[in-house]
Amino acid sequence: MNEKLILALDQGTTSSRAILFDKSGEIKFVSQRSFEQIFPTPGWVEHDPYEIWSSQISVAAEVIAKAGISGLEVAGIGITNQRETTIVWDRHTSEPIYNAIVWQDRRTSNYCNELKKQGHADNIKKKTGLVLDAYFSATKLKWILDNVQGAREKAEAGDLCFGTVDTWLIWKLTRGKMFITDVSNASRTMLFNIRTLDWDDELLKLFDIPRAMLPEIKQSSEVYGETSTTLFSTKIPIAGIAGDQQAALFGQMCIQPGMVKNTYGTGCFLLMNTGKEAVYSKNNLLTTVAWKINGKVNYALEGSVFVGGAAIQWLRDGLKIIDHASDVNQLASTVEDNGGAYFVPALTGLGAPYWDQYARGTLIGITRGTTNAHIARATLEGIAFQVYDIVKAMEADADTKSKELRVDGGASSSDLLMQIQSDLFGFKIIRPKTLETTALGAAYLAGLAVGFWDSIEHIHAQHVVDKEFQPNLNEEKSNKMLESWHKAVKRAQSWIEE
């Protein structure tokens, strides 16, 4: 093979993947490996940092072997990763001092509540764009320093390194020569000032974190350095880094302000590009850095649906009305509408724009005529309604009107769900040919830095659409459905008492 390829390392919450892309942005080879989820106690979620590393490097080696190439034919490496997950290791031995504390981990919730009572939430939001929550890295890092024996002393002596997953992988890929992160990952730590684009001394003091522990902050697309020759047959430039959702935004080529993408996974992650402006939300959304390329920063608004595809899994595993997740489409399409049934999939509370952890799943409007098919359709609609609410919140915050939604993730393969989504919005839904947009975004960022692609415009011109969905429901009907949905949400809220 003479043509060079770009290697994307996609380090996710449950598996590590390596994908080789060609010049047209097509997937050539893929390798994937799952790894263990560790639950030491209810609400705690950990990963073994060595397993994150070993699974990622093994799939990288495997995909190169599958392609029958050497490192000479890899033009560059782009890295994308699960965000907020926190790793601390010894600067001299590269030994982690504790397991990685995963973004889902809730062990610092009470500490976050204390900080809220002390009045820190507004200042944290102003500096970081984030809601004060255990989700982000800062309180996880503080917990490690406070609870691992000798950690704080070593940190203050400059002997420890903190990193999100991208930083850990690059440290290992370069055998400790590079201690870096990019702006998109830094913006998820709750230690990064999105205005100054640097670590914030006031926040470091609040969380009692020594600055020496923190990596150098880089752009999302630049040649940072090269891999160690012990890992590949030759040195390969590491040239792109982005957190998974920001990488997907770039992979979808949402490069203009107002463009929105949604990833339909277990949950749903929506990002709207707000351009060079950091837009602060009045609707419980997060403000985050999308990327920095050629010295220019793009910001984004972000909102999350806690239960997206997981609602379909519940139909399969809980209600047992389908055998496979994909069966939901066939079952739901046997009825013309929901028969008056509405399902609010608040199985773990409601995310943006409600942020109600005490809401619970609610199936309402059931009559004697309600069938499994109506419930299946109401489930697909429940996912689409939640996405609708977040986009409307984004439009209000950014003072803009969306004209389309770009989609990816497993559930976006459902034509029926995409049609329902288009009908609710009254505009088109665009599904790309490559649904692996997270890895593709990382590949694009790396490829731009090494000249594999000469410009963002070049990439945009070759973006291939699989299918567009146009609305075909009249506005009066969709408005009536939305009205019923919002009544159902009210009934689902605050179900569990504190």
74 close to 9: Cβ distance less than 8 angstroms: no
Give the integer Cα–Cα distance in Å for 184 and 298: 10
* 95-129 tens-digit pLDDT: 999 999 998 888 888 898 899 999 999 999 999 99
C-alpha angle 386-369-384 in degrees, rounded to nearest 5:
10
For residue 79, which of 195, 2, 174 has the smallest C-alpha distance? Answer: 174
Place of tokens 């506005």: 475
Q: DSSP characters for 362-395? A: EEE---TT--HHHHHHHHHHHHHHHHHHHHHHHH
Q: Which residues are annotated as a binding site?
A: 13-15, 17, 83-84, 135, 244-245, 266, 309, 313, 410
**Residue 414 within a domain:** no
What CATH number is given to the structural domain containing 225? 3.30.420.40
447 close to 240: Cβ distance less than 8 angstroms: yes
Mean pLDDT, rounded, for 159-176: 96
pLDDT value, residue 304: 86
* 34-60 tens-digit pLDDT: 888 888 988 888 999 999 999 999 999
Q: Which residues are annotated as a binding site for glycerol?
A: 83-84, 135, 244-245
**Residue 97 within a domain:** yes
C-alpha angle 16-133-389 in degrees, rounded to nearest 5:
80
pLDDT value, residue 431: 94
pLDDT value, residue 1: 47
Indicate whether 172 pLDDT > 90: yes
Mean pLDDT, rounded, for 455-474: 89
Indicate whether 400 pLDDT > 70: yes
Indicate whether 497 pLDDT > 80: no
pLDDT value, residue 229: 72
Give the integer Cα–Cα distance in Å for 236 and 353: 43
User: Phi first, then psi: what are they for 269, rounded to 5°?
Assistant: -120, 120
Range of the structural domain that residue 63 is part of: 5-244
* 246-290 tens-digit pLDDT: 999 999 999 999 999 999 888 889 999 999 989 999 888 999 999
Close Cβ partners of 314 (under 8 Å, ≥ 6 residues apart): 307, 345, 347, 361
For residue 178, which of 135, 222, 143 has the smallest C-alpha distance? Answer: 222
- Whole-number mean pLDDT of the chain? 92
**Residue 411 within a domain:** no
Close Cβ partners of 452 (under 8 Å, ≥ 6 residues apart): 4, 6, 23, 75, 76, 446
pLDDT value, residue 280: 92
**Residue 174 within a domain:** yes
**Residue 81 within a domain:** yes
Confidence of residue 14 (pLDDT cuts 50, 70, 90): confident
**Residue 238 within a domain:** yes
Q: Domain total for the chain?
A: 1
**Residue 193 within a domain:** yes
Q: What global pTM score does this model have?
A: 0.90
Length of the chain: 498
Q: Which residues are annotated as a binding site for ATP?
A: 13-15, 266, 309, 313, 410
Indicate whether 2 pLDDT > 70: no
Give the integer Cα–Cα distance in Å for 294 and 333: 48
* 406-435 tens-digit pLDDT: 999 888 888 999 999 999 999 999 999 888
- Percentage of the chain surpassing pLDDT 90? 73
Indicate whether 498 pLDDT > 70: no
Q: Which residues are annotated as a binding site for sn-glycerol 3-phosphate?
A: 13, 83-84, 135, 244
CA of residue 150 relative to chain centroid, distance: 33
**Residue 479 within a domain:** no
Q: Which residues are annotated as a binding site for ADP?
A: 13, 17, 266, 309, 410
